[in-house]
């Protein structure tokens, strides 16, 4: 009888269970450092609640006919998980998802700075540097359809 030695030989490719925690620990350390920076800036990184005025699906339905590039002077408050983020200098786009759908946040540095005023002159930079995909955030603003048709 021949014994199969492959069961006792380590595999050339590590399994998912064999992964080193150094990558995960590095991500965790970076996230905790961002939390500390948020706290140092006077922000609450783990807010207990956020007053939402509309589910995202309702906004998508209500403004389905809004033309590309058009903006409505209709203030809303939404919350959700950042699914994607794209930052281009003084402009950022965050795809936000709640339990009903997704919407794109169109974030302009000048608008954010005007809204925050002297209370937080670094608000846009904090958004760029201290948020990641997967974070849950709340946002207040008006409805705008981008030139590419995203609400």
**pLDDT class of 125 with cuts at 50, 70, 90:** confident
136 burial type by CB count under 10 A (0-12 exposed, 13-18 middle, 19+ buried): middle
pTM of the model: 0.75
Q: What is the pLDDT of residue 118?
A: 60
Q: Quick check: 34 and 28 in contact, CB under 8 A?
A: no
**Domain residue limits at 96:** 49-144
Mean model confidence pLDDT for the chain: 82
* Non-local CB neighbours of 82 within 8 Å, separated by 6+ positions: 94, 95, 96, 131, 132, 133, 134, 135, 136, 137
Q: Are residues 36 and 63 in the same domain?
A: no
Q: What is the pLDDT of residue 41?
A: 81
Q: Are residues 72 and 134 in the same domain?
A: yes
Q: What is the pLDDT of residue 117?
A: 66
Q: Which two tokens stand for residue 23?
A: 């990558």
């Amino acid at each position: 009888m021949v014994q199969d030695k492959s069961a006792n030989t380590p595999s050339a490719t590590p399994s998912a269970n064999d992964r080193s925690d150094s990558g995960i620990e590095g991500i965790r350390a970076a996230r905790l450092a961002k939390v500390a920076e948020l706290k140092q800036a006077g922000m609450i990184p783990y807010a207990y609640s956020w007053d939402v005025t509309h589910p995202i699906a309702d906004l998508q339905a209500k403004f389905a006919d809004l033309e590309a590039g058009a903006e409505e002077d209709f203030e809303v408050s939404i919350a959700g998980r950042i699914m994607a983020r794209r930052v281009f200098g003084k402009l950022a786009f965050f795809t936000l998802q709640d339990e009903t759908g997704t919407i794109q946040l169109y974030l302009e540095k000048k608008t954010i700075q005007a809204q925050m005023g002297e209370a937080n002159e670094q608000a846009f930079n904090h958004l760029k540097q201290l948020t990641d995909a997967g974070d849950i955030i709340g946002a207040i603003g008006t409805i705008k359809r981008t030139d590419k048709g995203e609400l």
